[in-house]
Structure 1
Amino acid sequence: VYNAASQKAGHGAKGVAFAAAVVAAQNYMKEVSAKGKAGALARARRAAFDPLVYASLREVLGGRAEWIVAGGAPLDPELLAFFRGAGVPVYEGYGLTETTAPCAFNPLGVPYHQGSVGIAFPGFELRIAEDEEIQVKGTAVFPRYHKNEEASEDSFTEDGWYRTGDLGRIDDDGFLYIIGRKKDLIITAGGKNVSPGPIEEVIKRCEFVSQALVLGDKRPFISALITLDEDALRPWLESKGLNRDMPLEEAASNAAVRAEVQKWVDQANEGVSRAESVRKFIILPEEFTQENGLMTASMKVIRPKVIKRYATLLNTQMYIKKK
């Protein structure tokens, strides 16, 4: 929805207005999250854009949406702040098949906590282990896997808490924040633990990037494989005076495209230490899809398969061994 609205606005005066409206909505929600309410200036800016931008967005969604539930994968906090600031009431939750769906949810009418998936759902308890893994206990948590005692035993702590495999934190108000997947945790050759999720989220804010996969396990530095959203790329190329119809192979190596991606990589790096920062990236001329076996049916990138598919590229262009 966001990408469609951005593309419809284009890169002229409407595009400038849409970009300003996005920032106004995000700043409004950031103040609400930090202070409990927004200041007069943030409220005024938000109000100014409501008839121009936000009302149209709400109308696209039917005009009568009271709340929208998002789940299945973490939403970019900046994207969520935009929708909430635009008066589109998106609420994020968290759960697994093993917890019989939600075990955490942002309740209606409770102060907004940016980036959080909410508090423990009734009947559940949440805690964070020493290694930052989220653990759950409750009446709706499954007791064991069918005909797989080994997996069942590995999935529970000695005191009966279910190991979710997700990494997170819980703030002083009891709100849960997802950091990433334990199995996706990168440990560099230098011994630095890096959770790729937050870095990937920032890079994917580039309007024509569809996927960003941060790598670096047992490697000397962090890198990224990036794919292009062709539908968003074409109008962007045209707005820059470039050939709208250039092949994806050409676009992947185009200096202007790489410079735009570099801006978002730099922004992602601002929030992490040097050891966690993306030092190199490769733009691929194809996307990760279910058809090529690199995505699950629930639209999650299969990291090991991506690494295997592009092993030669990584070893010859990304991590070149010194002779």
Structure 2
Amino acid sequence: MLKLANKLVFSKVRARFGGRLQYAFSGGAAISREVAEFIDGLGITVYEGYGLTETSPIATANRPGARRIGSIGKAIPGVDIVIDSDGKKTDKGYAEGEIVVFGHNVMQGYHRRPDDDAAVFCGRDFAPWGDRPKSADRGFRTGDMGYIDNEGFVFISGRIKEQYKLENGKYVVPTPLEETLKLSPFVLNAMVYGDNKPFNVALLVANVPAIREWASRDGISLPASEDAIVADPKVRELFKREIAEQASHWKGFESVGDFTLVSEDFTAENGMLTPSLKVKRRAVMERYGALIEALYKKDKGAR
């Protein structure tokens, strides 16, 4: 089967890149495990790294002999990565918290912005558990959440400022959940919300062309307009199944209790995405807040 897939599919994809590509390097935004494994399956080894402008820019990287799919690799030589966990741990017992970068690659500071400098820089002594960095006296707080496994591989959980707390006290980091939902061929974009709420909800941008293709293939009749399509009960049932499939490995408190569909994608042009294609949550809430809040007002028995 693998030989057949290689002949019919993988070889054609490799040919699009010239036929000799052996390695791919990913940075700037997270690459999902599923995508990385697909690229690996093509016979192209993918290496993911991480860094910021403030860290000049690379801080960690996977490399030959030290690679783990799903991680951003280990700290590069001359750099120390420390997790400011405040006692928080992952299910496997790893300290989880803000990723702090120490090294001579860290910037000197923002130009004439002392208040911003004070917010992002910290000294060695902030790490009370004894794993203090050796590379430099000053660390840079990245604003990213993550953890380091027992082999030194760093994993990103999400953005500190994006996490929120449910009514039950559980903290939710929405970005990984959104990336998982977007693995569905019917979802162009997603925003998960639940700040101080009893459960999470999702605003999903429907891939209308893919939905029409699905309906045509299965002999399902749909209305003509995009707005009517996303409101169609048959389409909602499709999305219920997609959410259940994509979220099958989530923790219970991460599950989506309800969702709403829209047909207009998030873009930088309409103000829903940043130039680096990250969701602008405040802008999405300003535009779709009424739709999202309405999900909490529905009778729970109807969900």
* Corresponding letter in the other structure for 1:80: A
Structure 2 counterpart of 1:232, from 200, 210, 226: 210
Aligned to 1:250: 228
- Is the Cα–Cα contact under 8 Å of residues 199 and 268 in structure 1 kept in the other structure? no
In the alignment, is residue 174 of structure 1 matched against residue 174 of structure 2?
no
Aligned partner of 2:132 in structure 1 is none
Q: Distance in 1 between matches of 2:104 and 2:31?
A: 27
Q: Paired residues, what number?
A: 276
Partner of 2:116: 151
TM-score under structure 1 length normalisation: 0.80
Deviation digits for residues 281-308 of structure 1, max 9, x if unmatched? 1111211111211111111111111112
Q: 2:47 is matched by which residue type in structure 1?
A: Y
Question: Does 2:121 align with 1:140?
Answer: no
Judging by fraction of residues, say which structure has more strand.
Answer: 2
Please give the alpha-carbon distance, in whole angstroms, between the structure 2 residues aligned to 1:99 and 1:228: 37
Letter in 2 for 1:314: I
Distance in 1, matches of 2:17 and 2:258, equals 39
Contact 2:223 2:229 in 1 (8 A): no
Question: Who is 1:102 aligned against?
Answer: 58
Distance 1:76 1:228 in 2: 20
- Post-superposition CA distance 1:53-98 (Å, at most 9, x none): 1111111222121322222211111111111122123221111111
Alpha-carbon RMSD: 2.0
Correspondence for 1:22: none
- Tell me which residue corresponds to 1:307: 285
Q: Work out which of the residue numbers 108, 117, 121 in structure 1 matches 2:76.
A: 121
CA shift digits 1:241-300 (9 cap, x unpaired): 245883221221223332232223223443233222111111112111112111111111
Establish whether residue 207 from structure 1 lines up as the match of residue 172 from structure 2: no
How far has the Cα of 1:231 moved from its partner? 4.4
Shift of the 122–233 alpha-carbon distance from structure 1 to 2, 3 Å rule, reads farther
- Give me the whole-angstrom Cα distance separating, in 2, the residues matched to 1:232 and 1:99: 40
Would the aligned equivalents of 1:46 and 1:85 in 2 still touch at CA under 8 Å?
Answer: no
> Which aligned segments of 4 or more residues in structure 1 are displaced greater than 6 angstroms?
none
Deviation of 1:320 (Å): 1.3
- Which amino acid in 2 is paired with 1:270? S
CA distance in 1, matches of 2:223, 2:15: 33
Question: Which one has the bigger helix percentage?
Answer: 1
* 1:83 and 2:60 matched: no
1:192 is the counterpart of 2:170: yes
